[in-house]
Structure formats: structure tokens, C-alpha cells
Amino acid sequence: MKVSVIQQPPVYLNLGKSLERAVDLIGQSAGQGAELVVFPEAWLSGYPTFVWRLQPGAGMGKTDALFSKLQANSVDLSQDGLQPIRDAARDHGVVVVLGYQELDGEISGSTLYNSCAIIDADGRLANNHRKLMPTNPERMVWGFGDGSGLNVVETAVGRIGALICWESYMPLARYALYAQNIDIYVAPTWDSGATWLATMQHIAREGGCWVISCATALEAADIPKDVPSRDELFPNEDEWINPGDAVIYRPFGGVVVGPMHEEKGLLLHDIDVSEARASRRKFDACGHYARPDVFTLHVDRNPQSPVKFE
């Protein structure tokens, strides 16, 4: 089964054009034989890297303008905002894992979440996961997710689960996925570099699963001129804001392709999904190595809402 890991930027903070680009990239991937297409964290419509460049307090006025643009270019599932992606997945017969920014259109109409969708080859939204804990200044723009999306789902290419960026540092969140017979662990991220790659290697060994990780390869030149405070935030046109580092690790560890560093394109590679469960003969974190008489884990999968209707 061939995987295509997307290491192309979106049209930053432009939802309509980013959706068009995503559909095109899915088509390109399918045209090269891919059955699974993976996008980075918050790819729709661009990770809000400005939260790491503005000071809380002094920079809040600028954050407000940027948040407003971010909000206007986020996806509302209550309005079927991922329909173009679902249609592309169905038309090309591919599974898509997509990091995106989700607007809560049902409760508040304004809160944003860092979300990851798994869309099956028939165009069905198989799972939607909201990042449990936004990291450091990310809390200036994103709300907290819940356990309702901590699922591994059966797809046309195998059992897939996803954790977003530093959720992969959360041992219990990882275990919640391992315990669901995961074949392919997807880690859409904004992180990169040696420390992050070491974590991906560890998860492949610990979980006995394929691990696919990718961040958005983004240069300052990719930021449109109409983004508020652009010249102040990204003054060096030659800066690599994020090098990407798309990578695939085999079950029980060992890189098979990547990392794709400071380069834009598609990272394509064939994987044998059956290797995942076979690799657990030596170490099965949720099976013969689990010791359920000593350890237990409870996951609350009830969606959390501040509003209760009786």
C-alpha cells in the first residue's frame, strides 16, 4: 500500500484556496498510486505560528486581528466544511488524514479547535479528533478537546489512529490508541528536528505500528501580503519557518523514508500494513506485556460541552 505524505504548504489563512490545493494534492497523490494521503497539523488553513512570535499582553491586539482572520478561514463541520476533501477521497478511492482548524459551529459559533479528520476511501468522515491540550501559546487561539475522538478506526487501508503534535508525548493518550489494535499511527505536527524524530522512532517501537509524521514545510515567502502584521512577524523572506521533516517509521522502529527536510513535495512510499501486528510478537504493550492485573486505563469518550439542554 502506497502512502503519500504531503509536504506542501496551504494558501496561508485562505480556506477556499487551501481546499482547492488540498483537492489537487489528493489527485496528484492518487495519480502516483497512493491509497493513503496524510496532511500536517492545522494544514487548513495554516498553523498559527504567529502565537510563538507575539508577546502575550503586548501583542494581544495583533493576535486579535490574526485570530479574526484565522476564525474566518476555519472549517465548520456543522456546515459540512470538509465536503471537498470527502468528495476527493471518494472520487479517487483514497483514505485522507487531514489536520485542520475547526470552528465550533454548533455551540459557541466562535471557539476554534486544532482537529484531525480521518476520511475513508468512500468519503465518509470516520473520525474527528480535537487536540486535547494546546501547547503553551497555542492556548491563545484554540480550545481544549476531549476524549470522544481518541479512536482507532477501520479504513480501506487498515486501522488508523492519530494524535496531534505534542499529544504524542502523552503516554496515556498513546496507550489509548495502542489498545485499539492500531496499524498506522499518524502524527500531524508542527514539530521537527532530531528530538521529534526520536519520539516517532520510539512510538513505532513501543506501539508496534507504522508511524507517519509530517509538519508543514513553510517559508516566509509563502505568507501572503494581506496577513496582518506580516512584515513584522516574517521579515526575512528567505526564512524557513518550518522545515517539514516528513518521515515514515516501520513497526518496532527503523526509518524507511525521510525525513524530507527543507523541501516541498510529496513523500511517497510503499508499506506493508500487516507488519504492524506481526511485529508485536516481541513486545505487545496492550497484550502479553500489558499486566492488566497491575495497570488499568479508563478513557472518557463522552463529548464535553459547557451547555446542557434538558
Looking at the annotation, which residues are catalytic?
41, 131, 165
The distance from CA 277 to its chain's CA centroid, rounded to whole angstroms, is 23
Among 210, 183, 175, which residue's Cα sits nearest to residue 298? Answer: 175
Q: Which three cell numbers stand for residue 297?
A: 486505563
What is the rounded distance in angstroms from the CA atom of residue 229 to the CA atom of residue 305? 34
One-letter identity of residue 153:
V
What is the rounded distance in angstroms from the CA atom of residue 195 to the CA atom of residue 137? 20
CA dist 207 to 130, 201, 253, 256, Å? 21, 10, 10, 17
Q: Judge if the upstream peptide bond of residue 228 is cis by omega within 30 degrees of 0.
A: no
What is the rounded distance in angstroms from the CA atom of residue 210 to the CA atom of residue 7? 19
Cβ(285)–Cβ(178) under 8 Å? yes
User: Three-state SS for 98?
Assistant: strand
Q: Judge if the upstream peptide bond of residue 45 is cis by omega within 30 degrees of 0.
A: yes
> What are the residues whose beta carbons fall under 8 Å from the beta carbon of 224, sequence distance 6 or more?
11, 12, 13, 14, 230
Among 3, 206, 216, which residue's Cα sits nearest to residue 198? Answer: 206
